[in-house]
Amino acid sequence: MDSWLDLLNSDWHDHTGSGRREDRLDNPEWLDRYLSRLGDQPKGKRKGEVRDALRELRDLLKAIVDLIVAGKAIPNTLWDRMNEFLAGSPFIRQMELAEGGYALEPVPLKSDVAALTARIAADFCRTIAEGEPERIKICANKDCLWVFYDHSKNRSRRWCEGDTGCGSLMKVRRFRAKGRRKRASQKG
């Protein structure tokens, strides 16, 4: 699950250029859906504490992703902060029946904010360690800034597909700009 992508993209920007922006962590319905997709909600904590912890992790993820996209080295201080999040969830391993056999699965020993953020942090770190970090990209539409993992064969994807469809939008914008330039040159 790409829980870290959903968290990063909870800082939503209107891709059409209106300048509207929404921190979806402040939207109780969005937050409930997000936590439900993760499986279990932290017990005994107020939504404000959960939201604050998620916002802190999101800021850290954004700082790391920005460096990855820029092709820069990630300083140890950021990894130290990430390790603090990862330390929040001790777990045990259990054998579980899986498709075609068995799987050794981690099971959290607790269900609190630290366990929640540790699980999201682990999802991100797994992507970095086992995936290809250079496939993490930010939509080239300056109004959108959606973060995505480029699954394309040649790693050339520039636009998000998420809930915005910026590739089509940018193609239309280029086409219209070309038409305006053509009409302007015919007048002059």
91: β partners: 108
What is the pLDDT at residue 159?
79
Q: Cβ distance 145 to 14 under 8 Å?
A: no
Measure the N-to-C terminal CA separation of the chain; round to a whole number of Å.
Answer: 55
Domain range enclosing 108: 3-187
Degrees to nearest 5, angle at CA 93 with 89 and 95: 150
Structure confidence at residue 163 (pLDDT): 46
Q: Does the pTM exceed 0.95? A: no
Helix (H, G, I), strand (E, B) or coil at 123: helix
- pLDDT under 50: residue ranges of the chain: 162-163
CA–CA separation, 136 and 114 (whole Å): 25
- Note the pLDDT of residue 179: 64
Domains contained in the chain, number: 1
Q: How many of the other CB atoms lie within 10 Å of CB of 178?
A: 10
The confidence score (pLDDT) of residue 175 equals 58
CATH number assigned to the domain comprising residue 141: 1.10.3300.10
